[in-house]
């Protein structure tokens, strides 16, 4: 018996499992509104199945301590360990901005428009509505040792679809990605029957800047498009999943701890910060 296994074959099997999971009930929803909701729910359930349990995935609106809101978002990946509350009213989740790892817009096709915006422009505006919110950061106790507040983490922005009916080359997609700059820029995406992609940007955070809000905003405003890397269609979901997991675990890590006093001010209360 061989003591080796073909990793490529394992990933091919995983791709087939992922496609089957994502296709559940999708083809049987005929009403356009229901179809949109179904697609969002299928992607949410798919990510819940494959991402580690530390990540929560929901359709949501993101809020900050000033009461500002993002647009309604098709899919938010967020943390509950350091953002211990999520409001739910009338079936809508309101997630504190500090807990957000990634946001995605879900569409049936990369090609299409909402009013005067193509889907990439529309997605960029959704992402921007999250990245411009105020995020706080406070120190924590780790293994009994006080730790200083950490810098604000990057928020991954992306677009997800079932198909891509643009001309079957990558030029049109890349041109749309190039046009999105600053807080609207997109990191990654996936069309199930076409392939996944991620965008390479040039630019680094100015780690000497101790104003964390200014520092992360400037990072987005100053970075520039370099190139886009596309996967093969037969590896669309596996490559998207591997890239997303790499961003979450090794590029972002754990989100900053929330300043609960910033939120308590909304009810005129001051939290005691010592014991």
Give dist(CA 241, CA 249) in Å, integer: 12
Give dist(CA 225, CA 12) in Å, integer: 31
Give dist(CA 35, CA 107) in Å, integer: 10
Q: Does the CA dihedral 191-6-200-209 come out positive or negative?
A: positive
Instruction: Kindly state the tokens that stand for 49.
Output: 């199945």
Active site residues per annotation: 74, 105, 107
Give dist(CA 69, CA 79) in Å, integer: 18
Nearest alpha-carbon partner for 170 in 212, 131, 127, 199: 199
Pairing relationship of beta strands 195-202 and 113-114 according to DSSP bridges: unpaired
Give dist(CA 99, CA 122) in Å, integer: 23
Pairing relationship of beta strands 56-63 and 92-96 according to DSSP bridges: parallel
Pairing relationship of beta strands 117-118 and 113-114 according to DSSP bridges: antiparallel
């Amino acid at each position: 018996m061989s003591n080796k296994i073909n990793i490529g074959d394992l990933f091919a099997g995983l791709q087939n499992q992922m496609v089957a999971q994502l296709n559940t009930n999708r083809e049987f929803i005929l009403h356009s509104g229901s179809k949109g909701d179904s697609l969002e729910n299928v992607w949410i359930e798919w990510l819940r199945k494959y991402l580690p349990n530390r990540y929560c995935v929901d359709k949501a609106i993101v809020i900050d301590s000033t009461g500002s809101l993002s647009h309604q978002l098709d899919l938010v990946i967020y943390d509950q360990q350091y953002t211990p509350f999520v409001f739910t009213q009338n079936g809508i989740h309101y997630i504190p901005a500090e807990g957000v790892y990634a946001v995605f817009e879900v569409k049936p096709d990369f090609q299409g428009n909402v009013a005067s915006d193509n889907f990439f422009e529309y997605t960029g505006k959704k992402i921007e509505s999250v990245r411009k919110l105020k995020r706080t950061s406070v120190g924590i106790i780790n293994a009994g040792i006080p730790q200083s507040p950490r810098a604000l983490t990057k928020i991954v922005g992306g677009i997800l679809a079932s198909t891509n009916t643009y001309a079957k080359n990558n030029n049109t997609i890349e041109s749309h990605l190039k046009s999105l700059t600053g807080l609207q820029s997109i990191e990654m995406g996936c069309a199930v029957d076409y392939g996944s992609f991620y965008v390479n940007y040039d630019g680094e955070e100015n780690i000497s800047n101790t104003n964390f809000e200014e520092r992360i905003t400037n990072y987005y405003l100053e970075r520039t498009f370099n190139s886009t890397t596309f996967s093969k269609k037969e590896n669309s979901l596996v490559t998207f999943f591997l890239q997303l997991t790499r961003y979450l675990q090794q590029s972002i890590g754990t989100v900053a701890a929330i300043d609960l006093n910033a939120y308590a001010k909304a009810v005129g209360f001051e939290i005691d910060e010592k014991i």
